[in-house]
Amino acid sequence: MFIPQRVFFEQKALDYPVGRRLFKKFKLDRIPVSMIGSHNRVTGIPGKTPREAYLEAKRTLVVGVRRTMQFSSCKPSAHYQLPLSTSCTGQCEYCYLNTTLGKKPYVRVYVNIDEILQQAEKYIKERAPEITVFEGAATSDPVPVEPYTGSLARTVEFFGQQPLGRFRFVTKFTDVDSLLDANHNGHTRFRFSINTEYVIKTYEKGTPVAKARIDAAGKVAGAGYPLGFLIAPIFIYPGWQDDYAHLIRSLAKQLKPAIHQDITFELISHRFTLSAKKRILEVFPETTLPMAEAGRKFKYGQFGYGKYVYPKETLEEMKTFFHRELAEHFPGAKVEYLV
Q: Which residues bind ligand SF4 (CB under 6 A)?
A: 88, 90, 92, 95, 97, 140-141, 172, 207
CB-nearer residue toward ligand SF4: 172 or 184: 172
CB-nearer residue toward ligand SF4: 137 or 248: 137
CB-nearer residue toward ligand SF4: 51 or 323: 51
DSSP code at position 87: B
Distance CA 334, CA 52 (A): 42
Minimum gap (Å) between residue 217 Cβ and ligand SF4: 15
Minimum gap (Å) between residue 108 Cβ and ligand SF4: 12
CB-nearer residue toward ligand SF4: 33 or 61: 61
In this structure, the chain runs to a length of 339
Contact 174, 208 (CB under 8 A): yes
CB-nearer residue toward ligand SF4: 210 or 259: 210
Q: Is 80 exposed, middle or buried (0-12, 13-18, 19+ CB in 10 A)?
A: buried
Minimum gap (Å) between residue 141 Cβ and ligand SF4: 4
Distance CA 33, CA 249 (A): 46
CB-nearer residue toward ligand SF4: 160 or 206: 206
- Angle between helix 151-160 and 113-127 (nearest 10): 30
| C-alpha closest to that of 173 among 199, 206, 203 | 206
Minimum gap (Å) between residue 88 Cβ and ligand SF4: 3
**Residues contacting 122, CB < 8 A, separation 6+:** none
Distance CA 281, CA 35 (A): 33
CA 107 to chain centre: 13
CB-nearer residue toward ligand SF4: 77 or 207: 207
Question: Would you tell me how many other CB atoms lie within 10 Å of the CB of residue 33?
Answer: 18
Contact 42, 62 (CB under 8 A): yes
CB-nearer residue toward ligand SF4: 90 or 226: 90
How big is the chain by its Cα radius of gyration, in Å? Answer: 20
Minimum gap (Å) between residue 24 Cβ and ligand SF4: 28
Q: Look at strands 306-309 and 6-10 and give their pairing.
A: unpaired
Minimum gap (Å) between residue 272 Cβ and ligand SF4: 13
**Residues contacting 324, CB < 8 A, separation 6+:** none
Minimum gap (Å) between residue 12 Cβ and ligand SF4: 26
CB-nearer residue toward ligand SF4: 16 or 169: 169
- Phi and psi torsions of 23, nearest 5°: -60, -45
Distance CA 320, CA 241 (A): 11
Minimum gap (Å) between residue 96 Cβ and ligand SF4: 7
Residue 332 identity: G
Minimum gap (Å) between residue 65 Cβ and ligand SF4: 22
Residue 112 identity: N
